Chains A and B, each alone.
Chain A
Amino acid sequence: MKTFEEKWTAWLDGQLSGRELSEFEASLPDKAAAEIEKADAKKLGALLKSELRAPALTNEEFFSHQLRERIVRESSVPSVEREAKASTWWTIPRLLWTGIASLAVFLIFTVFVIRDKNPAEESQYLTQILNARVDPVVSPNATVSMFEVKQDRVTVLWTEGLQSLPADYAAK
């Protein structure tokens, strides 16, 4: 058994028919007023349908909407799990310090290697006198000494006491 309210709603929606409709309309105290109310209700329904349609999203709104949804989703992940995911040893300051430390180690090793290597390299690039001798009969007091001038990369064999010769010996 429907109540009056139910029948009234059904009548406004045009869902009553036949005997039920005629009985309900007969029970109305002022049918004309009811008809006006029915017409108003229909107008209101039409207006709401046309005005309250879901608005189309523009691109910006769409993306911000998606972003908001994602934030909501992610914030629903348990915080412990989130921290475990986000935490890493390689933070920016640590990366920076690691870089500086590596550079320092590299420089230290470079300095040591260069310091160790330089003498050998220099001697490799300088001419070396292995031995020298003068004829003791011709020049009994002669001495020889050798030195390397690293600045000019010249090696000199220096002799003293060789027999002096007249200027004629400078001829070509």
Chain B
Amino acid sequence: MDRSLAFLILFVSLMAGVVSEGQAAETVWSGLVIAENVAQPQAVPPELTRIEGALKKFFGYNQFQVIGQSEKTLKTGQEDWLATSKFFGLHVDAQGESAAGYVLNLKLYKEKELLLETDAKLSKRSPLVIKGPQVGSGQLLLVLVIQ
């Protein structure tokens, strides 16, 4: 009897967890990042810690600095937002949610000039990194992560 009750409670808790996970609002972090090679690199921002290894491996830089960022909590999956720095702007337009993630339209502006546009299905478990233009000795990267 006790054991059955324990199983029932566990089952209900698990189901509740699954349901709440499915319905929880999620936050998308969007960042404009300048990657550079410097003699004394600063620590990687916490938002990028998760993909620090991948960034260093693919782009070959040792320092990553966030020059603009935005955090948006998605409730309907239809929101849009802007992450900006002094000269760049990343406009993100969410166009729906699926089990795997969100369909996003991304536009990178240099001031008012559209440099790059892409549509992506951003997975909840897989960050997106876009290599932007060369800026001085560094590289502009656009990073989107579902937190």
Question: Complex Cα distance A128/B128, Å?
Answer: 9
**How many interface residues does B have (CB within 8 Å)?**
46
A64 at the interface (CB under 8 A from B): no
Interface string of B103-143 (1 = CB under 8 A from A): 10000001001111111111111111111111111101000
Question: Complex Cα distance A31/B28, Å?
Answer: 132
* With contact pairs A127-B122, A165-B135 given, residues A155 and B88 touching in the complex (Cβ less than 8 Å): no
The smallest C-beta distance from B87 to any residue of chain A, in angstroms, reads 5
Number of residue pairs across A and B with beta carbons under 8 Å? Answer: 142
The smallest C-beta distance from B140 to any residue of chain A, in angstroms, reads 8
| Chain B stretch 76-123: residues in CB contact (< 8 A) with chain A | 85-88, 99-101, 103, 110, 113-123
B74 at the interface (CB under 8 A from A): no
Q: Spot the interface stretch: A4-12, A70-78, A100-108, A129-137.
A: A129-137
- For residue B127, which residue of chain A has the nearest CB? A154
Interface size class, chain A: 35 or more
A158 at the interface (CB under 8 A from B): yes
| Chain A residues, CB < 8 A from B118 | 129-133, 144, 157
| Chain A stretch 6-37: residues in CB contact (< 8 A) with chain B | none
* With contact pairs A152-B53, A153-B127 given, residues A130 and B110 touching in the complex (Cβ less than 8 Å): no
| Chain A residues, CB < 8 A from B144 | 127
* With contact pairs A125-B100, A165-B110, A172-B67 given, residues A155 and B116 touching in the complex (Cβ less than 8 Å): no
| Chain B residues, CB < 8 A from A129 | 118-120, 128
| Chain B stretch 24-46: residues in CB contact (< 8 A) with chain A | 34
| Chain A residues, CB < 8 A from B127 | 127, 153-155
* With contact pairs A127-B128, A156-B58 given, residues A171 and B85 touching in the complex (Cβ less than 8 Å): yes
* With contact pairs A124-B100, A127-B101 given, residues A170 and B126 touching in the complex (Cβ less than 8 Å): no
B54 at the interface (CB under 8 A from A): yes
Q: Find out whether the CB atom of A132 lies under 8 angstroms from the CB atom of B126.
A: no
User: Can you list 5 A-B contacts with CB-CB less than 8 angstroms, sorted by A residue number?
Assistant: A127-B120, A130-B118, A130-B121, A149-B58, A157-B118
- Identify the A interface with B (CB < 8 A): 124-135, 138-139, 144, 148-149, 152-159, 162-172
